[in-house]
């Protein structure tokens, strides 16, 4: 069976690949590999998210589906008062994120974990994600409900989703579930959505 970026243990050979990009005025050089999401470049959706979403002031942030760590590494290097939980099911992705964080000197402020290794009492001020749309709607909906429920009362999630892969229908679904989901921006065929708890 071919690997997917959401495979827990990729069977493809790990081959180091440099990935260079600029975010918030800083140039980054990370290492990626085969067997992880967008293993040879910064994917377009994440590029759009890092252009459209403002940096958090600090607090505890979840990078959901962290891949090799571009979002986690950017947030930790740009915001001294943030602690990022970088979460993925892909063990190779987690190893790469850990190595990239250490290389950038922010390993102490990025906790790398599988979903089930995140303590139940952790709450997040922000969630950032380029969610794995291709796992299918039922699994995606369950994933989002699981983690959005862990936002703090005034927390916000930033999601980037391709318009062609159902960004607008996902926004409608989130609103139908009681979340306040708004479009923050749109570029290159992607929507950037904000998700907040219902107003009390």
Domain presence at residue 160:
yes
* Mean pLDDT over the full length of the chain: 92
What gap in Å lies between CA 41 and CA 20, rounded to an integer?
A: 7
User: Per the domain annotation, does 6 fall within a domain?
Assistant: no
Please report the pLDDT score of residue 172 as a whole number: 97
State percent of the chain over pLDDT 90.
Answer: 85
How many structural domains are present in the chain? 1
Q: Please say if the pLDDT value at position 100 is more than 70.
A: yes
The CATH code of the domain that includes 77 is: 3.40.50.150
Task: Give the pLDDT band (50/70/90) at residue 110.
Answer: very high
Residue 189 lies in a domain: yes
Q: What is the pLDDT of residues 173-187, one digit of tens each?
A: 999 999 999 999 999
In a domain, 8, yes or no: no
Say what the pLDDT of residue 14 is.
Answer: 66
Of 14 and 142, more confident: 142
> What gap in Å lies between CA 180 and CA 150, rounded to an integer?
15
Interior angle at CA 18, CA 63 and CA 20, nearest 5: 70
Q: Give CA–CA dist 160/170, Å, rounded.
A: 11
Q: How far apart are CA 29 and CA 170, in angstroms?
A: 33
Q: Is residue 9 part of a domain?
A: no
What gap in Å lies between CA 74 and CA 11, rounded to an integer? 28
Tell me what the mean pLDDT of segment 56-82 comes to.
Answer: 97
* Residue 12 within any structural domain of the chain: no
Residue 62, domain member (yes or no): yes
pTM of this structure: 0.91
- What is the pLDDT at residue 2? 39
Residue 7 has pLDDT above 70, yes or no: no
Q: Which pLDDT value is given to residue 39?
A: 65
Long-range contacts of residues 81-84, Cβ cutoff 8 Å, at least 24 apart: 81/57, 82/56, 82/58, 82/109, 83/59, 83/109, 83/110, 83/111, 84/109, 84/110, 84/111
Structural domain boundaries enclosing 156 = 44-196
Where b means 16+ CB within 10 Å and e means fewer, 165-174 reads: ebbeebbebb
Residue 92 lies inside a defined structural domain of this protein: yes
């Amino acid at each position: 069976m071919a690997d997917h970026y959401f495979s827990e243990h990729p069977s493809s050979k790990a081959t180091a690949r440099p990935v260079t990009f600029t975010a918030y005025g800083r140039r980054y050089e990370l290492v990626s590999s085969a067997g992880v999401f967008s293993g040879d470049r910064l994917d377009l959706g994440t590029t759009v998210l890092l252009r459209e979403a403002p940096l958090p002031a600090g607090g505890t942030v979840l990078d959901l589906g962290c891949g090799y760590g571009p979002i986690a590494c950017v947030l930790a290097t740009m915001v001294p008062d943030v602690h990022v939980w970088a979460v993925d099911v892909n063990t190779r992705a987690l190893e790469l994120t850990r190595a990239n964080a250490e290389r950038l000197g922010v390993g102490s402020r990025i906790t790398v974990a599988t979903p089930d290794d995140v303590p139940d009492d952790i709450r997040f001020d922000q969630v950032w994600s380029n969610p794995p749309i291709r796992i299918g709607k039922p699994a995606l909906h369950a994933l989002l409900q699981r983690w959005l429920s862990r936002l703090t009362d005034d927390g916000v999630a930033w999601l980037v989703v391709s318009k062609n892969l159902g960004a607008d229908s996902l926004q409608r679904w989130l609103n139908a579930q009681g979340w306040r989901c708004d479009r923050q921006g749109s570029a290159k065929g992607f929507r950037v959505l904000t998700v907040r708890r219902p107003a009390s």
